[in-house]
A and B are shown apart, each in its own frame.
Chain A
């Protein structure tokens, strides 16, 4: 735990655009330690005059990938750290990180399922780490992801999610697109509501181990909807973040 607290200089080794506003950064860590899926790292930037800005970003990669991590960063309007990451950082740059941090919003394959994941926008990032971990461990715990995005183009990890859902290992994917839908769209086309949550979670009933991550309003309405449907609050874990939307 003490090493997680110490800042280390990580090297950016790759930058991968996910959508127009979202990029994944691969960091090579001199003092890597395996994370638990759902945890995050803090990024700290220091200006020449000593001014510092710090933000926490969820880990996107699976803990099974030794020595490096992926952090997925959404460009936030007016965001000091996300703008720097998107517009300034290039491979080879070194950035101060500390982590892995967070003992609450975590899932490990040993915890089993059924796993109900609910994401809004870039809230999918820690849930992706859980799904990558689940695949890397060969877990067949039933898992469903309900993922709300504004448009088809805003869906992060779109092709990888399709690939995971095609593995036939009891992972099922449900998209909802709230703003516009491509021609022939067969998924949901509205904000997440209790009826939608009921359709996705019915198979699991009250046994579902639930993780919800996204903008505050989405997280609170999804958590309240699942409580209405009879899920127990101790089986529902939430992570909220601010200036973004679905």
Chain B
């Protein structure tokens, strides 16, 4: 199958389960600020690149890296650049 990177782009919604696995909570409804352009948005709106050994979330406005996640033989490794300030109110 031939597919460009753009065609394989998902968004933060698609990695909600992995975020629960790594951070113990669904962070996709949390809002964060991009350290590069200042875009303030829910993590669900990030572009998600998942067709690689790791997962990268990028800002939907400037494409700056927000969060990198990789599963290693000894567990998950992550680097967060996005500053997460808030959550939507809990519900349901």
Contacts and interface: CB of A to CB of B under 8 A. Distances in A.
A in complex with B: yes
B17 A56 contact: yes
B70 interface: no
A242 B20 contact: no
A103 interface: yes
B10 interface: yes
Contacts of B8: 242-243
Interface size bucket, B side?
A: 20 to 34
A243 B20 contact: no
Contact of B28 (A4, A98, A103, A108): A103
A104 B12 contact: yes
A104 B3 contact: no
A40 B13 CA distance: 9
A114 B91 CA distance: 21
Nearest to B45: A238
Interface in B20-52: 20-21, 25-26, 28-29, 42-45, 47
Given A103-B28, A104-B29, A238-B45, A42 B17 contact: yes
Given A1-B26, A5-B21, A108-B92, A243 B12 contact: no
Interface string B47-85: 100000000000000000000000000000000000000
A66 B63 CA distance: 41
Interface in A102-132: 102-106, 108
A14 to B, nearest CB: 24
A103 B88 contact: yes
B3 A243 contact: yes
Given A56-B13, A101-B16, A103-B28, 10 more contacts: A56-B14, A56-B16, A102-B28, A103-B29, A104-B29, A239-B11, A239-B44, A241-B11, A242-B8, A243-B8
